[in-house]
Each structure stands twice: as structure tokens, then as C-alpha cells.
Structure 1
Amino acid sequence: MSVVHLLVINPNSSKSITDGLQESLDPCTPPNTRLSYFTAPSHAPAAISDVITANQTATVCYEALVQTKAIDEYDGFLVCCFSDHPLIHMLREHISSIQSTKPAIGMFEAGVSHALLVGRRFGVVSTGTGMKHTLIAGVRAFMGANSERFAGVTTSGLGVVELREGDRFRIEKLMKSTSVKTAEKGADVLILGCAGMAGMEGLVKQGVREAGLGEVKVIDGAKAGVELLTGIARLSRS
């Protein structure tokens, strides 16, 4: 079986986020799959906290990816921002314009898809409030309707870069408390709602367990995205 070469895209310019993704994803890379990583150029926003920064990062990343001919080099593209990030749609449009079938997906889509398959009700553990309503609208649009299976978005107040570079005690405390609030809404599946949360599955489970709420499943959308994208990329070749 030939190797599938995927590009994992961090659409903000914070290298610490990319490093966290690589640390989390490399050990669980599927067989016959190779991952490469892309960080947005330095003039892109360091974090994506609202619609404005989402659009700014999309434009900068798209231009860089096209200029470096990355579309030709890789078999699939995973955008690691937990939102319906504009870059996903820009890549799909470009790929379609050159008559290619290479897939481009987001960790948001992969995380929600995974959650729907493994639990009764899911909630999103997120960062600040800037993207909360956009995330809620994105989930509803992806599912095609409002659904009782969606327990909503719970914000921690943590910043995107803070998750990788901030005070560990504060991060652990807020991640645990936010996870508990999400589980209390009836969610038996919790999605890590930021690329900066890569590798924090154990912390989330621990917080819910310590609160006496039992066991929950925790989904990292980036990990789900790599698995899903690998399969789609292989099928796209056939």
C-alpha cells in the first residue's frame, strides 16, 4: 500500500500550537501515512479568537500554500482550527478548480462526526467567548438542524496560545472545571474545542471523574481528522 502524505495546517502563526499538534499526532499516525506540518506565516494573527482573525489567517495561509505549490505536494489537508474555518472552503475551491479530488477537511468537522458516532450527546470544551456563537452556529449548520444531541459550547476563558505557553496550574484548573460544566449538561462525549488542547484528553477525563460524574469519552478533533482524512485520501485515489 502506497504512503499517504497529509499536511496538518495550523492556520495561526504560533509555533507552539504546531509543536503541540505534532507531539500529539505523530505517535498515533496511521500505518502508511506521513504527516507534515504547516504554521501560518509570521504576519498572520498569533491566535484565532473571532471571525476577523479567522478570515485574516485564511487569506494569509491560502496565499502561502498556493505560492509554495503545496496543493501539488500533498494528498490531503487538515485545517486545525476548531471552527468552520474559511481556509477549508478556499482549499476545496482551489482543488476543484484544478480538477483534483484531494480532500481538505477541518478538525471541527472531524470532531463532530466522531462524536455523533460514539455517544448519545456531545458538548464542546472551548477557549474564550469570541467564537462561542460562531461555533454553535457551525455545529447546527454541519448537522443540518438543531439537535438534542448537541449540549452546546462551554468556554474556559483560556487563550489559544495560553493553552501551550501559560501557567499550568491555571490551565489544568480551568480545563477541569469547564469539562465538568460540559458533562453536567448531559454530554457523554466531550470534544476538545481548540488545537491548543492537543493531548489534554486525560486531564478532561480526570476532571469529570473527580467531580463524581463518571466516565466520558473525549475527542481530539485533530486526531479524528488525521484518521478520517487518511481514509478519504486513500479512497480519492481509487
Structure 2
Amino acid sequence: MTRILLFNPNTSREVTDLLVEAASPALWSGSTLIPVTAPRGIPYIATRAEAAIASGIVLETLAEHEGDFDVAIIAAFGDPGLGGARELMSVPVIGLAEAAMLSACMLGQRFSIVSFSRALGPWFRECVAMHGLLDRLASIRLLDGAFASLATVQDEKEDLLVDLARSAIEHDGADVIILAGAPLAGLAGRVRDRIPVPVVESVVAAVKQAELLVALNTKKPSAGSFRRPDPKPSIGLSAALERSLLASHSPISPRL
């Protein structure tokens, strides 16, 4: 049994439900999802400041659940807290954006990111840069204007998002489209026949890569940029996160 923690760092439970609904059919028979929604924070992370707030909540939540999962997915497209989580956790951690972009790179030369809010643009571009994929990015195309709710934005904006994807293909040279953002989970499957290039479903890409990393049966590095940090005391943090920060580095043996 592979236990996959699917952590939505947004506080919107409706979005968590969308993620689970989109990911569940893709699971191997020996895998199970453990969905968790952020207990506090922002309903939908869209800016650098909101991502910075979410990063601490990501670390706290993963520390609180440590030992209950074999691999974790940070299910927000900008991957808040991903680097820190990989340092602290003894098991693999997957970022939604990284999984989608790496999958897109295996399907074409250049990908475009399409989403529903212009506010996401700077954060998304910095996320692409963080993962070293700017040379593979054709464009980031975003809708402008209000929407009724996160739970229904993909239904409300479906036709506009398809048009935006087609524009990215025609004008930006995109070989692959990523419909980005947790509230768009499940939309790729509905619209793939209306878009003439591959469309990546981010949460499915993350789940399948999570299963792959568990199957590879690797260990926690004792050297390199993602080794566990040296123990350090703290003040005012959650008990779980404090324990994680104080833990001595000890490589975890592969699962048998």
C-alpha cells in the first residue's frame, strides 16, 4: 500500500474535493490518497505574499502527519514550501507545478501555462524559473476578470480557457498545454478533445510521479542540497515542526 498525502495548502475544501475526484481514477490499486486541506491561510493562493504564508503552513502540516504517508503532494500549482519540505521530510515530496511541467517536457518541446486569474502570473513565472524550465516555457496566458467561486470557476470559464489554450498554440508555439491551478483539477479530461495538442492534468501527473518515486525505493540523501538541516532550536512553532527541526539527520532505509 502506497499512502499519498494530498495536501491542499489553500483553505478551500471544495478544491480538495476537485483534486481527489480528478486523481482517484488514476491511482494504482495499491495506492491510497490521504486528502488534507490547510487548516488556516488563504482560500486560494495567487500571489508571492500568499505563497510565502502558505509555505510555513505546508511545513507544519507535513510535520504533523509525518509517519502517516509514504510520499506527499503539495497541491498548489506554484509549489509553495516545496524546497523546505524536501529538506525536512524523510520521504519524497512532489510539487503540483513541477510534476505538470516535467510531464509536459516529455510530451513536447515547449509548454504553455493557462489559468483563470491574471494575479497568478508573477508567481507562476517565478515557479517556472525555480525549476529551471524557462527555456521550455512558450507562454503563460491568463484570463482577466472576476469569477463566481473557486468550486465552479472551471465550469464558468471553460470556453474562455480553451480559447486561451488555442491562442497559446497558434501564437506562442506551445506543443503542450497545462491548465494550471488546483481549482481547474479535472478540466483537462473534459476539454482535451477541443485542444489540438496534449493537455496535462496536473494532479494526475503528480500522483503518478509520486507512485514512481515510491517504486524507485530511494533513501533520504545525507549530502547535497536536500539533506535534512542540522538540528536547530526554535520558539513558538508547532510541536510537530519543532520536533522536525530538532531531528538529527539519519538517512532513512529504503522500503522493503
Place the TM-score, normalised by the shorter chain, in its bin.
Answer: 0.7 to 0.9
1:73 aligned counterpart, secondary structure? coil
Q: Does 1:201 align with 2:188?
A: yes
Q: Does 1:139 align with 2:128?
A: yes
- Give the drift of 1:90: 2.6
Which of 94, 113, 135 is residue 102 of structure 2 equivalent to? 113
- Give the drift of 1:157: 3.0
- Give the drift of 1:203: 4.3
Partner of 2:205: 224
- Give the drift of 1:233: 1.8
- Give the drift of 1:158: 6.5
Q: Percent identity?
A: 26
- Give the drift of 1:89: 2.1
Partner of 1:58: 55
Q: Gaps (5+ residues) in structure 2? A: 219-253
Q: Does 1:70 align with 2:56?
A: no
- Relative to structure 1, the CA distance from residue 19 to residue 104 in structure 2 (aligned partners, 3 Å threshold; closer, same or farther) is same
Q: How does 1:1-238 map to 2 (within 5 A)?
A: 3-41=1-39, 43-66=40-63, 69-86=64-81, 88-95=82-89, 100=90, 102-143=91-132, 146-147=134-135, 149-157=136-144, 162-166=149-153, 168=155, 170-184=156-170, 185-208=172-195, 215-234=196-215, 235-236=217-218, 237=254
1:72 aligned counterpart, secondary structure? coil
- Give the drift of 1:139: 1.5
- 8 Å contact 1:160–1:196 — kept in the other structure? no
Hey, what's the Cα distance between the residues in 1 that align with 2:153 and 2:84? 32
TM-score w.r.t. length of structure 1: 0.83
Q: How large is the Cα RMSD of the aligned pairs?
A: 2.2
- Give the drift of 1:166: 4.3
- Give the drift of 1:198: 0.9
Hey, what's the Cα distance between the residues in 2 that align with 1:158 and 1:177? 15
- Give the drift of 1:227: 0.5
Farther-moved stretch of structure 1 (132-141 vs 25-34): 132-141
Hey, what's the Cα distance between the residues in 2 that align with 1:15 and 1:218? 25
Deviations 1:103-157, CA, capped at 9 Å, x for gaps = 011011111110111112211112322231232232133136x42x321110023
Q: Gaps (5+ residues) in structure 1? A: 209-214
Q: Which has the larger radius of gyration?
A: 2
- Relative to structure 1, the CA distance from residue 163 to residue 186 in structure 2 (aligned partners, 3 Å threshold; closer, same or farther) is farther
Deviations 1:195-225, CA, capped at 9 Å, x for gaps = 11111114443443xxxxxx21000121111
- Give the drift of 1:173: 2.6
Hey, what's the Cα distance between the residues in 2 that align with 1:32 and 1:167? 30
- Relative to structure 1, the CA distance from residue 217 to residue 111 in structure 2 (aligned partners, 3 Å threshold; closer, same or farther) is same
- Give the drift of 1:91: 1.7
1:216 aligned counterpart, secondary structure? coil
- Relative to structure 1, the CA distance from residue 123 to residue 166 in structure 2 (aligned partners, 3 Å threshold; closer, same or farther) is closer
Q: After TM superposition, where is structure 1 displaced by more than 4 Å over at least 4 residues in a row?
A: 158-161
2:178 aligned counterpart, secondary structure? strand
- 8 Å contact 1:8–1:78 — kept in the other structure? yes
Partner of 2:226: none
Partner of 1:212: none
2:118 aligned counterpart, secondary structure? coil
TM-score w.r.t. length of structure 2: 0.78
Partner of 2:231: none
- 8 Å contact 2:54–2:80 — kept in the other structure? no
